[in-house]
Amino acid sequence: MIALALRWLYRYLSVEWPERYADPEDLVSIVVSRSWWTYILFRLGPVAMAGILAVHGAQQLEWPSAVALLAMCLTHVLTSSVAAMVTMSKNEWARTTRMYFHGITAVGVVLSCALVWATRRWTGWLAPDVRGLSTNIWATVLALALAKGAYDLLKRAPEAEYLHDRAARSVDPELLVKIRSADCSHTGVLEAIALAEAVERPRWFRRLERCVPGVESTGVMQVKHKGVLTDEESVELFLAKHNEVCEQLANEGATAETIFRRHNSDENFVAMCRHLEPQW
């Protein structure tokens, strides 16, 4: 029951990153993906608390606590990471990266449960008295009220300045200068693509991609290449490919929307590009 409640919590928060590109209106996904520690805190913090409840709740009810923790851990892994890997479409974007990512997350869940078991002697005070019905009812009501308030706060659409600042910190300034200095009339559009990619694939995640075998697109521009690309190499390759069609796009009167979709047709990604397109 605890594992299913935990799964419901993650489904309620509906954070689909890195399953899909983050919507520019989804502050939760954008905050969670900001750094490796925010993602770990989001994915494993509730797991640890659920494990503590499973262990000490079972002890209070005089049930085998190890069995309770193991059942909670396996149920959560099977209904989250394993289920996502099994149902993932073969032609989805960055499938290899996400497969490895789900595998790493599953290992993290198992290690979190192992840590809960190893520290069970000192975490009893964190678990409520599962036999006290009235106490649990009031605690549940208070927890739901606090969770709803936090959720409503995070679900607010992020301001444009926040997105720009987040993107700018995820890509080296000299690379943005190189894009702005490109011999092409679409530099503002290209910069928006770079900023959007930097938000969707933050610096820490790009480092992880470089260590994953079989990943087709690496670097800040997520350019497909046989080898692993650094951020600088991906920008150079991206600009070289765009320069080949720059004149053709200009002659055809291609709009910013057309160029965004030419790079990546995902609706959330295109919307992120619109939010981050320079207004100059």
More confident residue, 158 or 123: 123
Question: Phi and psi at residue 218, in whole multiples of 5°?
Answer: -135, 175
What local confidence, expressed as pLDDT, does residue 81 receive?
A: 75
SS3 280: coil
pLDDT surpasses 80 at 202: yes
Q: Are 174 and 166 in contact (CB under 8 A)?
A: no
What local confidence, expressed as pLDDT, does residue 18 receive?
A: 76
More confident residue, 187 or 132: 187
What local confidence, expressed as pLDDT, does residue 151 receive?
A: 57
Instruction: State the average pLDDT over residues 248-259.
Output: 90
pLDDT surpasses 70 at 155: no
Q: Cis before residue 128, ω within 30 degrees of 0?
A: no
pLDDT surpasses 70 at 139: no
pLDDT surpasses 90 at 13: no
pTM over 0.75: yes
What local confidence, expressed as pLDDT, does residue 132 receive?
A: 66
What local confidence, expressed as pLDDT, does residue 80 receive?
A: 80
pLDDT surpasses 80 at 218: yes
What local confidence, expressed as pLDDT, does residue 146 receive?
A: 59
Q: Are 247 and 263 in contact (CB under 8 A)?
A: no
What local confidence, expressed as pLDDT, does residue 142 receive?
A: 58
Q: Read off the DSSP letter of residue 157.
A: P
Instruction: State the average pLDDT over residues 66-72.
Output: 92
Which residue in the block uniquely carries the two structure tokens 């954070």?
15
pLDDT surpasses 80 at 145: no
Q: What is the mean pLDDT of the chain?
A: 82
- Percent of the chain at pLDDT above 90? 34
